Amino acid sequence: MKFKISIAKNPSHSAPVTCVGWSSTEEVYSAGDDNQLLSWSVSNNQSRKLSHFNKDLYPIDMQFLPRSSSTLGKHGDLILITSADGKFHIMNRSGRIERSVDAHKGAVLVGQWGNDGAGLLTAGEDGCVKIWSRSGMLRSIVVSSDNSVYGASWAPDSQSIAYTQGKFIVIKQLAPNTKPLRWKAHEELILCLSWSSASELIVSGGEDCQYRVWDSQGRQLYSSGLHDNHITSIAWAPNGDLFAVGSYNTIRLCDYAGVRHLLLCCITNYYNVKFQWSRSLDKPNTGCIYKMSWSGDGTQLAGACANGHVFFAHIVERNVHYMNFTATVTERKIVTVRNVTDDTVEQLELPERVIQLAMKYSHLVVTTPTQCYIYNTNNWNTPAIFDLKDGSVILLMLAEKHMLLVEKNNIGIYNYQGRLIAAPRWPNMRLDFLRLSQISLSSDTLVVRDSIDFKCTYILYIN
C-alpha cells in the first residue's frame, strides 16, 4: 500500500498554500497567503479561481461542514475558514462570506466543525479554545491559557476535546467540574494533532521531528523515529485505518495495523514484536506541508504546500486475499487479480476509480463512485453490476449468501446477483459513525452496536 502523488507542473497560488478542503470526492478547495480561494478538479489537476479575499484576510485553516449535517440542505454547503486576524468566517460554496466572527486575539490556528455539524471549535495564539454554535454564536470558552494552541480536535462523541499545550496534550471534558487529562507527549513544541472518530486514537507531531500515537487515556502506542524536519501536519482517514504525516518535502502513509498487533500482544502478553506503522514514504518537492485533508471515502489525500502547490495523492496497491486469489488495486481504475496456484493474471478495468474492495465466498466486490461490481472467482468476464443510491460506499462487508453496503445515507443488504434483499433500520442509526468493528453479518442475521449506548446491540433477522 502506498500513495501515488500528482502535482501540477506550475503552482496556481503565488504564495504559500495554507489550507485545503474537499467539497466532494472529485473537487478540492485551496486557500493561501495570496488571498485566493481556488477550486481543483482532482482528475486533471486543473484549478479555477472562485474568490479573492480582502487583502487583510490570510487563511490558516479550512473545513467543509460534515456530510452528516443534512439540516442545511446540500452536504458541504458551508465552509469554515480561520484567519490570521483573529476571525473565523463561514462561507458558501461560491466563496462568498456569509458571516465573520471576531474570535481570538491573534491568529485563529484551528477551526473544526463538530462531528455532528451542530457546532464548531476554534483555537488560537491567545491560548484559548472556544466552542461556537453553527451560526457563529459563542457557547463557551473551554480553555484559557498562556500557551498558543497549535492543534485541537473533537472527541469522537463530541463530549470532549483534545488540544496542545506546549509539549503537552490535554483532554478536556465539556461537562462542568471535570478534571482534564494532561500528559507530556513530546520533547519539543507540539505543532499538530488529530483525533480519529473511528479508531478513537490520537496522533500528534512536533518540533522534535517525531509523530506519536496515543489512546484516549494518554497511553503511548507508538513513537516514530526521528525525521529530518519538524512534523507540520497530521490527518486521520475517515474510517480510521490510515493516517498521513506531513513534513518538509515529506509525506508518509501509516497504517492502523500496528494497533491491532499491539492489542493482540496485550491479550497474549507477548511483546517481542516490531510493529510496522509506516506503509510508504514519499519525498515530493512541496516545501513544508501545512495542512492535509482526506476525501470522504478515505481513498485520496490533498495537501497545502509552502511552495504554492497543492498535491493530490491516491492510495494504490491495496490488496485483498481469498483462497488462492489476490486482488490488488494497481491503478486508480484497475484491479489486478492473480491466481497464485497457476500464476495466471486477470486485469479488471473499471470506468471510474476504485473506492472499496472485498473478496470472500468466491466473490470479488468492487465499488466505484457510482456503481458496484460483483465478480465470481470462476468467471471474471461478466460481473453483476448495479447503480449505487448515494455513491461513495463507506463500508463493505461480505457474508456467505449476502453482502452489506453502507453509503452516506443508505444501508442495504444485497445478494451476489446485485438484488436488494433488505434495507435494515435500527434505533439511533448513524451511518457516518458505523465501523466494521461495530457490525457483523451472517447468512440470516445482522448484529450492530448502538451508536449512543455502547452496551446495547441490535439483532436483525434477514428474511
Q: Looking at the predicted structure, is the pLDDT value of residue 131 above 60?
A: yes
Q: Looking at the predicted structure, is the pLDDT value of residue 337 above 70?
A: yes
**Nearest residue to 462 (alpha-carbon basis) of 429, 405, 415, 418:** 415
Domains 2-314 and 319-461 fall in the same CATH topology = yes
- Cell numbers found for residue 426: 435500527
Q: Looking at the predicted structure, is the pLDDT value of residue 44 above 70?
A: yes
Q: Looking at the predicted structure, is the pLDDT value of residue 272 above 70?
A: no
Domain 319-461 falls under CATH 2.40.50.100: no
pLDDT digits (tens, 9 = 90+) for 231-247: 999 999 988 889 999 99
- In this structure, of 74-83, 190-199, 382-391, the range with the lowest mean pLDDT score is 74-83
Span 2-314 CATH architecture: 7 Propeller (2.130)
pLDDT digits (tens, 9 = 90+) for 276-286: 578 899 999 99
Arithmetic mean of pLDDT, 131-138: 94
Q: Looking at the predicted structure, is the pLDDT value of residue 72 above 50?
A: no
Adjacency order of strands within the sheet including 356-360: 356-360, 363-367, 371-376, 379-387
Confidence of residue 267 (pLDDT cuts 50, 70, 90): very low
Contact 376, 392 (CB under 8 A): no
Arithmetic mean of pLDDT, 48-71: 85
Q: Looking at the predicted structure, is the pLDDT value of residue 274 above 80?
A: no
| pTM to 2 decimal places | 0.90
Confidence of residue 433 (pLDDT cuts 50, 70, 90): confident
pLDDT digits (tens, 9 = 90+) for 374-408: 999 999 999 999 999 887 788 999 999 999 999 88
Burial class (CB in 10 A: 0-12, 13-18, 19+), 103: buried
As a whole number, the mean pLDDT across the chain is 90
Contact 118, 138 (CB under 8 A): no
Sorted by where each begins, the domain ranges of the chain are: 2-314, 319-461
Arithmetic mean of pLDDT, 92-99: 92
- Cell numbers found for residue 264: 493482540
Please tell me whether residue 440 adopts helix, strand or coil conformation.
strand
Q: Looking at the predicted structure, is the pLDDT value of residue 70 above 80?
A: no
